[in-house]
């Protein structure tokens, strides 16, 4: 079940990551579409203006200063390259304020920060295929500089004229030029504009992802909580099924003894085992009934050992009980501790088990020692783990589920106590328990 739950969690995580990727891709594509739309609107607004810009505020103010005449004069070596380039530089500076003001006013309402640059890439004298410029010439440019053009338009156009003599009006020369131009647009604050316009969409996407993530976390927590409940249920069932064995076995032996002969000690033993079975049954139904703690009495410690002596007549049990007062420990839990440790000694070859219970001012000390097989030091750190059993050549030498010492440790931890173990192979094992209490 745990493996299945882990697979479901992994699947859920994979699907969430897939959804996250889809949402990120969707937002990225939406961003690109919106960016193109804004650039297209800016381009459409500026195109008509830039096409007619030269006539409005540029070089074509008089026929002598027209582009055609400038090209002819430069081609005929009437002006130098420096003068030729200076004419365009002067025009660019002269028109920059007007050009920038127009662009800024055009998009002031939208808050766009626009940069525009118009250049001549090449000027070719067609009759001789002569290239008049080596590098691009900037005709118009806003105060905001283009860093990375969002839209780039290129254009090709021709201008031509003919020269005639003053006498016979005969055509003596054809002046044709091919011009290639480039217009670049950039919205410098495009990212903030797009994010501003798509804020609601982005927030909805984030809210959707957050909702799925919260649902995922809630589901995982709920699943973990249910797993813990199942583990607790299994622990209770394991505990009680484990503890049923001793009273049932003792009752069987007592029943056989009654069939053979009368013994006045058998009836109290049967009563104690029946009470123990009832207590175990109550643990199964503790949610339906009020939990009642029966404090342990001084004589109960001795009764635990008497019951064990009756159940295991071939084992020499010896108890030294120094307890003279009622203690604030649950009788059933203390019986589980004593009997589990003693039965563990019996399982692993002990013929004699000594139990010493000492009363101290603020704690009791329980020492249980045996002369059994003992354990290797490397095993001692694992013996209190659930389902752990000591193995010899990978073969279990005694029957059991590996739960006895696990429950002992759990009970001692419940009372904030401490348990220590020392052992030597073929010599035996000693468990020492200290349980604090207040008078």
Question: Which of 211-220, 384-393, 419-428 is predicted most confidently?
Answer: 419-428
Nearest to 404 by CA among 245, 296, 231: 245
Q: Taking each helix axis as running N to C, give the angle between helix 199-260 and helix 190-197, from 0 to 180 degrees, rounded to the nearest 10.
A: 60
Burial class (CB in 10 A: 0-12, 13-18, 19+), 51: exposed
Calculate the average pLDDT of the chain.
Answer: 79
DSSP tag of 155: E
Asked whether residue 430 carries a pLDDT value surpassing 60, the answer given is yes
Nearest to 373 by CA among 391, 356, 357: 391
Average pLDDT over residues 385-396: 60
Asked whether residue 375 carries a pLDDT value surpassing 50, the answer given is yes
CA distance 355 to 367: 6
Bridge partners (DSSP) of residue 162 are: 174
In this structure, what token pair is assigned to residue 65? 């200063």
> What pLDDT does 63 receive?
36
Sign of CA dihedral 331, 336, 337, 338: positive
In this structure, what token pair is assigned to residue 69? 């005449």
Which of the pair, 388 or 78, is modelled with greater confidence? 78
Average pLDDT over residues 309-330: 89
DSSP 185-201: EEETTHHHHHHHHTHHH
Least confident of 111-120, 153-162, 279-288, 399-408: 279-288
In percent, the amount of the chain with pLDDT more than 90 equals 12
Asked whether residue 425 carries a pLDDT value surpassing 50, the answer given is yes
In this structure, what token pair is assigned to residue 315? 């084992």
Answer yes or no: are the C-beta atoms of 267 and 306 closer than 8 Å: no
Nearest to 181 by CA among 164, 216, 157, 217: 157
Q: What SS3 state is found at 293?
A: coil
Residues, the chain: 439
Residue where the block lists tokens 């009832």? 278
Average pLDDT over residues 417-436: 92
CA distance 116 to 92: 12
φ, ψ at 130 (rounded to 5°) = -90, 130
E strand map for 303-396: 316-321, 327-330, 352-359, 363-370
Domains of the chain by residue range: 30-197, 219-436
> What pLDDT does 432 receive?
95
> What pLDDT does 4 receive?
66
Answer yes or no: are the C-beta atoms of 117 and 184 closer than 8 Å: yes
Least confident of 2-11, 213-222, 259-268: 259-268
* Per-residue confidence band for 436, with pLDDT thresholds at 50, 70 and 90: very high
Which of the pair, 206 or 265, is modelled with greater confidence? 206
Reported as type and span, the H/E element at residue 175 is strand 171-187
Q: What SS3 state is found at 307?
A: helix
Nearest to 383 by CA among 361, 414, 404, 358: 404
> What pLDDT does 394 receive?
39
CA distance 335 to 312: 16
Q: What SS3 state is found at 327?
A: strand
> What pLDDT does 366 receive?
94
φ, ψ at 384 (rounded to 5°) = -95, 0
Asked whether residue 140 carries a pLDDT value surpassing 80, the answer given is yes
Answer yes or no: are the C-beta atoms of 37 and 241 closer than 8 Å: no
In this structure, what token pair is assigned to residue 223? 């699943």
> What pLDDT does 401 receive?
57
> What pLDDT does 185 receive?
87
Assess if CATH 3.60.21.10 describes domain 219-436: no
In this structure, what token pair is assigned to residue 250? 């003792």
Nearest to 431 by CA among 339, 297, 330: 339
Question: Which of 6-10, 50-54, 77-81, 237-241 is predicted most confidently?
Answer: 77-81
Least confident of 37-46, 223-232, 275-284, 350-359: 275-284
pTM exceeding 0.75: no
Answer yes or no: are the C-beta atoms of 173 and 128 closer than 8 Å: no
E strand map for 266-394: 295-296, 316-321, 327-330, 352-359, 363-370
CA distance 47 to 42: 9
Question: Which of 18-27, 382-391, 396-405 is predicted most confidently?
Answer: 18-27
> What pLDDT does 316 receive?
92
What confidence tens digit (pLDDT) does each residue in 234-256 have? 666 666 665 666 676 676 666 66
């Amino acid at each position: 079940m745990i493996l299945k739950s882990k697979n479901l969690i992994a699947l859920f995580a994979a699907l969430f990551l897939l959804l996250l990727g889809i949402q990120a891709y969707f937002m990225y594509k939406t961003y690109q579409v919106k960016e193109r739309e804004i650039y297209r609107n800016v381009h459409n607004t500026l195109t008509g203006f830039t096409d007619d810009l030269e006539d409005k505020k540029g070089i074509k103010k008089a026929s002598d200063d027209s582009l055609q005449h400038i090209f002819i004069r430069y081609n005929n070596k009437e002006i130098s390259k420096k003068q030729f380039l200076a004419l365009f530089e002067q025009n660019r500076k002269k028109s920059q304020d007007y050009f920038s003001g127009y662009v800024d006013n055009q998009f002031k309402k939208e808050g766009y920060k626009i940069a525009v640059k118009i250049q001549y890439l090449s000027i070719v004298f067609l009759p001789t295929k002569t290239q008049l410029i080596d590098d691009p010439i900037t005709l118009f440019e806003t105060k905001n500089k283009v860093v990375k053009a969002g839209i780039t338009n290129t254009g090709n156009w021709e201008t031509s004229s003919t020269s005639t003599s003053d006498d016979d009006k005969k055509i003596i020369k054809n002046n044709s030029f091919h011009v290639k131009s480039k217009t670049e647009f950039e919205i410098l604050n495009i990212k903030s504009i797009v994010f501003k316009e798509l804020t609601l969409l982005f927030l909805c996407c984030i809210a959707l992802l957050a909702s799925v993530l919260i649902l995922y976390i809630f589901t995982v927590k709920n699943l973990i909580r249910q797993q813990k409940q199942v583990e607790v249920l299994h622990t209770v069932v394991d505990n009680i099924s484990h503890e049923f064995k001793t009273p049932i076995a003792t009752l069987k032996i007592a029943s056989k003894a009654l069939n053979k002969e009368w013994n006045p000690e058998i009836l109290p033993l049967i009563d104690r085992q029946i009470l123990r079975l009832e207590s175990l049954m109550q643990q199964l139904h503790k949610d339906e009934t009020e939990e009642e703690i029966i404090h342990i009495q001084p004589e109960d410690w001795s009764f635990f050992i008497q019951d064990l002596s009756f159940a295991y007549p071939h084992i020499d049990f010896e108890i030294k009980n120094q307890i003279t007062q009622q203690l604030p420990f649950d009788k059933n839990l203390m019986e589980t501790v004593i009997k589990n440790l003693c039965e563990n000694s019996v399982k692993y070859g002990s013929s004699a088990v000594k139990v010493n219970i000492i009363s101290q001012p603020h704690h009791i000390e329980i020492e249980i020692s045996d002369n059994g097989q003992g354990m290797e030091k490397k095993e001692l750190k694992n013996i209190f783990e659930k389902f752990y059993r000591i193995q010899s050549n990978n073969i279990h030498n005694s029957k059991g589920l590996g739960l006895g010492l696990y429950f002992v440790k759990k009970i001692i931890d419940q009372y904030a106590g401490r348990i220590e173990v020392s052992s030597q192979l073929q010599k035996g094992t000693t468990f020492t328990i200290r349980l604090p209490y207040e008078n």
